[in-house]
């Protein structure tokens, strides 16, 4: 079974490739030529659902869309659904990280979590959603050269290091996206959905 991932984020695509083999995951064909939908949802699930419904119009096969981000308790859950554009519409990871540290400068509370919601869809219908999360703390400065996004600032206590200091396999074993992908893979294995016949 081929399952199309509706993301052009290279970091996410590398992690999708580590998914248990319930399906062969490939980027949606011609994704780069499809205008991205406006993410108007106020939650990760709303955005994942709207992206899944939108992109499922471009293929009869199964697709899934991901919406994920960082929730910091001291910032009332921010950056949340705005994680990728926290410092602006075209912000870099470094700019987003710098703004996060700036906004946490006056607090000692550092608890946070990464959240990922995947929405699985076919031809305009969301079949199921899958949520994964991982709890941690925000470091005072970046650590590690791996991962992407806020990984260098996200300290994972059980391993005593940031997510950016882990190998891709170590991170996938505990991460929000890994947890959501494993849940989706298990569901697909149970449901035994058949590929659409063109």
Q: Which of 66, 67, 93, 151 is catalytic?
A: 67
- 91-112 burial, b at 16+ Cβ within 10 Å, e below that, comes to bebeebbbebeeebeeeeebeb
Q: How far apart are CA 29 and CA 60, in angstroms?
A: 12
Active site residue 67: yes
Q: With CA atoms as reference, report the closest residue to 92 among 80, 103, 82, 84.
A: 84
First-to-last alpha carbon distance for the chain, in angstroms, is: 14
Q: Tell me which residue has tokens 């991962």.
A: 147
Q: Which helix (H) or strand (E) holds 13?
A: helix 10-16
φ/ψ of 127, rounded to 5, equals: -85, -35
Phi and psi torsions of 44, nearest 5°: -60, -40
Q: Are the CB atoms for 3 and 168 separated by under 8 Å?
A: no
Q: 70 φ, ψ to 5°? A: -110, 130
Which residues are the active-site residues? 67
């Amino acid at each position: 079974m081929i399952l199309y991932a509706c993301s052009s984020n290279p970091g996410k695509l590398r992690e999708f490739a580590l998914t248990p083999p319930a399906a062969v995951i490939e980027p949606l064909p011609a994704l780069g030529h499809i205008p991205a939908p406006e993410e108007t949802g106020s939650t990760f699930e709303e955005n994942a659902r709207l992206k899944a419904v939108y992109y499922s119009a471009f293929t009869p096969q199964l697709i899934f869309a991901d919406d994920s981000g960082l929730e910091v308790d001291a910032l009332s859950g921010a950056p949340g659904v705005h994680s990728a554009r926290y410092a602006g519409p075209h912000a870099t990871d470094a700019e987003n990280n710098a703004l996060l540290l700036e906004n946490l400068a006056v607090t000692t509370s550092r608890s946070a979590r990464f959240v990922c919601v995947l929405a699985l869809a076919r031809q305009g219908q969301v079949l199921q959603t899958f949520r994964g999360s991982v709890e941690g703390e925000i470091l005072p400065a970046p650590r590690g050269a791996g991962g992407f996004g806020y990984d260098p600032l996200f300290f994972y206590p059980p391993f005593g290091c940031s997510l950016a200091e882990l190998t891709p396999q170590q991170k996938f074993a505990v991460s929000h996206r890994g947890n959501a992908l494993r849940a989706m893979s298990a569901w697909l294995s149970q449901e035994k959905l058949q590929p659409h016949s063109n």
